[in-house]
């Protein structure tokens, strides 16, 4: 049986429905050039006009950069669905009020790293990036609170806007040694802290180089790279980009696969080395942003 993609099937069905062969030909040509889904489904090399163009654009390496986690976003409150934004704010309030039992029962694997969302144009509502784990460390919560949050997947590596992890806050508040042991950063994060900081700056440069206007307009906090070394490959979304950034370890550094599903799509692969050197390895269609 011939192996065809869903998009190919839809295109052929559409062709049967269009009476005018001339119109059908024009429409199919337009879809073939602009539909990134067709390109991703078939995974065929795009035709280029010359070998020089192929050398410049190349084909995106490792196209399906599968990610295991969605990076916990923090951006203006009005950009989230009402239920999601209310969840962010409720978790923050429970943490501030030290309502530990309700906090633990309200937390799940999908919201365990949520933090209070800022309100646009409100100078009294700046992001703190305090997750439930940060609140527990600041509020001197009982040990079971830390254990439950960590079981639900809380990140130890995420920092507040003041650059403090939950461990840092626990030390500052003189929490017991058994709690400090729970909050210690993973060895691979501690052992690579300098290179992580260097590569993080380069990662931010790549992101801002593509969508700085959207980052500023929507108040999006840039990702912390230690999350990769603690949790694994992650996807970082940007509102109105209709795509985002997939980040994973690559050789001795990281690879950043970014994509935008607008006007035919746009893809780029950047490789960032431990010393921060960034190389654009391949590109897809030019992005409209």
pTM score, two decimals?
Answer: 0.75
Residue 278: φ, ψ to 5°: -115, 130
Q: In what order do the strands lie in the sheet with 243-250?
A: 69-70, 234-237, 243-250, 253-260, 266-272, 278-283
Name the stretches of the chain with pLDDT < 70.
Answer: 1-68, 262-265, 285-289
Class of 76-191 per CATH? Answer: mainly alpha
Q: Where are the alpha helices (DSSP H) in 126-285?
A: 132-138, 143-151, 166-172, 177-183, 187-191, 193-218, 226-231
What's the burial of 115, exposed, middle or buried (CB within 10 Å: 0-12/13-18/19+)? buried
Encoding tokens for residue 135? 């609140």
| Domain locations in the chain as residue ranges | 6-44, 76-191, 193-283
Report pLDDT digits (tens) over 99-137. 999 999 999 988 999 999 999 888 777 889 999 999 999
Report pLDDT digits (tens) over 30-69. 444 444 333 333 333 333 333 333 333 334 444 444 446 8
CA pair distance 202, 116, nearest whole angstrom = 27
Encoding tokens for residue 184? 């210690």
**Residues 213, 281, 258, 69, CA torsion sign:** negative
CA pair distance 168, 160, nearest whole angstrom = 10
Query: What's residue 262's pLDDT?
Result: 67
Query: What's residue 283's pLDDT?
Result: 83
Among candidate residues 145, 195, 196, the one with its CA nearest the CA of residue 170: 145
Encoding tokens for residue 20? 């005018």
| Cα angle 123-127-130, degrees, rounded to a multiple of 5 | 145
Q: How many helices (H) and strands (E) does the chain have?
A: 13, 6
């Amino acid at each position: 049986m011939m192996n065809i993609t869903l998009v190919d099937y839809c295109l052929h069905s559409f062709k049967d429905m269009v009476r005018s062969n001339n119109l059908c030909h024009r429409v199919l040509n337009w879809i073939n050039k602009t539909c990134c889904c067709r390109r991703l489904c078939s995974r065929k090399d795009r035709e280029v006009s010359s070998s020089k163009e192929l050398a410049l654009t190349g084909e995106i390496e490792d196209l399906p950069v599968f990610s295991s986690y969605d990076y916990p976003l923090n951006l203006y409150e009005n950009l989230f669905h009402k239920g999601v934004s209310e969840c962010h704010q409720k978790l923050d309030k429970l943490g501030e009020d030290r309502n530990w039992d309700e906090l633990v029962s309200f937390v799940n694997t999908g919201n365990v790293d949520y933090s209070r969302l800022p309100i646009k144009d409100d100078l009294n509502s700046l992001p703190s990036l305090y997750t439930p784990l940060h609140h527990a460390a600041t509020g001197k919560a009982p040990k079971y609170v830390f254990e439950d949050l960590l079981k639900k997947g809380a990140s130890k590596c995420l920092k507040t806007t003041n650059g403090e992890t939950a461990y840092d806050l626990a030390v500052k508040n003189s929490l017991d040694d058994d709690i400090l042991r729970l909050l210690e950063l993973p060895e691979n994060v501690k052992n690579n802290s300098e290179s992580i900081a260097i590569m993080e700056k380069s990662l931010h440069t790549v992101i801002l180089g593509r969508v700085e206007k959207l980052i500023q307009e929507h108040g999006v906090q840039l990702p912390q790279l230690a999350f990769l070394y603690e949790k694994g490959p992650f996807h970082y979304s940007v509102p109105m980009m209709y795509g985002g950034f997939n980040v994973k370890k690559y050789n001795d550094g990281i690879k950043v696969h970014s994509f935008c599903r607008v006007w035919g799509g746009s893809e780029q692969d950047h490789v960032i080395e431990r010393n921060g050197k960034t190389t654009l390895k391949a590109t897809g269609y030019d992005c409209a942003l």
